[in-house]
Amino acid sequence: MNVQKLNLTNSVKEFEYAKSLIPGGVLGIRRPYNFVEGEYPIYFDSGKGGRVTDIDGNEYIDYLCAYGPMIIGNREEEIDNAVIEQIREKGFCFSLTQRYQNQLAEKFREIIPCAEMSLFVCTGSDATSTAIRLARSYTGKTKIIRCGYHGWHDWCCEVKGGIPKKLYEDVYEFHYNDLEGLKVLLKEHGNDTAAVIITPFGHPLAEEMQEPQPGFLEGVKEITHKYNAVCIFDEIRSGFRISMGGAQQYYGVIPDLAVFGKAMANGYAIGAVTGKAEIMKRGESDVFISSTFFPNSLSYVAALKTIEMLERDKVLEAIWQKGNYFNNKVKGLLDKHKVGARITGIAPMMFITFDKDQAKQYKAKRTDFYTQIIRRNVFLQPFHHGYICYRHTQEDIDYTIKAIEEALFFLEEKYQ
């Protein structure tokens, strides 16, 4: 059953205006070609709970969750009020640091297995790059072996325009769950390798999500230490979502360093590096880490309140329950409707993809599927996995499952 295209007049008009002011109109992954052009909105106007509204007045159930930060929901009054009180009563940007950094670092030590010491930055890319700098200083070595998306800084950026090759020529990549591939790289470069950095839960760009095969994470850590390199877990997406202590707690493998961000402050800009004190202490004097805005306290206040709510309200337990229900129902639909689609991931993070075929029909199926989804006011991304947040209601999830079934019926009729 096909449905009518959404009215996106204001989004299109605003985007055309933006292109005269901003390169590309909007930046990076938010550009229209990363969705289905002409079908998805380009600008949101507001959000509340698990829903967002675009500038044309269309309301969506939001499963992209700002690419991960919205762990509880939009406009959470308890978090926002704590931030507003900080602005009104104390201020947040000073020449010296307020005490909230200490409180947040203490909380990290309490709940994250590897957290002996911590430092805080503004973004995930800041955090991964800081961790790499610490590892290079600690080991006195240069080369980095990586697995996963780690941000947009020169050493790890996927798009190389404007980046001299010499800035990433010492960085090598292996694939998730390919321990043999890592062994080959370390056999060749291990004596010069400062760190192995990996997303402990596999979420490769635009590909199916993967859990670690038995022994994979343990093997990564073991072989990394064999070559006296630092084992770093990139928990920007998995942290404060898979479990309070991150994927390292969930899978029971403790890295030397870990980086966090996204969900830890429910939308406020913050990233963190945490781990063994002997490595972290390289940041005392040997490694320069500084920014005008790193010490600004609003995100610390938001993070402390978010973590308080996550623990108090058993948020992650609720997300796992909702996500398991969603994933199981969708898997049943995909088993029933043979259109070459599959759902991968775990309860808090999932992705609906289409199996590749020689005729590349999967691309058309993907476009049609996500077109039908967005027309039914369900905001999922065709090239990026989705998330479950705390404020998604059972009604939201059941509606989404029905919308997915209708989209699958559409594909069956078109491609039978």
What pLDDT score does 359 carry? 85
Mean pLDDT of 390-394: 98
pLDDT of 182 higher than 80: yes
Determine what percent of the chain is predicted with pLDDT higher than 90. 98
Distance CA 354, CA 114 (A): 37
Task: Specify the pLDDT at position 358.
Answer: 87
The number of angstroms, rounded, from the C-alpha of 163 to the middle of its chain's C-alpha atoms is 24
Say what the pLDDT of residue 343 is.
Answer: 98
Average pLDDT estimate for 284-308: 97
pLDDT tens for 259-284 read: 999 999 999 999 999 999 999 999 99
The tens digit of pLDDT for each residue in 318-365 reads 999 999 999 999 999 999 999 999 999 999 999 999 999 988 899 999
User: Is the model's pTM score more than 0.95?
Assistant: yes
Task: Round the average pLDDT of the chain to a whole number and report it.
Answer: 97
The predicted structure's pLDDT at residue 205: 87
Q: What's the pLDDT at 379? A: 98
Average pLDDT in the 129-145 region? 98
With 90 as the cut, is the pLDDT of residue 11 above it?
Answer: yes
Angle of the 315-336 helix axis to the 298-312 helix axis, nearest 10: 70
What Cα–Cα distance (Å) separates residue 224 from each residue in 35, 118, 125, 246? 38, 22, 22, 20
Distance spanning both ends of the chain, measured CA to CA: 14
Instruction: Quick: pLDDT tens for 95-131.
Output: 999 999 999 999 999 999 999 999 999 999 999 999 9
Strand order in the sheet with 386-387: 341-346, 349-354, 386-387
Using one digit for the tens of pLDDT, what is the confidence trace for 393-413? 999 999 999 999 999 999 999
Q: What domains are there in the chain, each with its CATH number? A: 9-75+315-415 (3.90.1150.10), 77-312 (3.40.640.10)
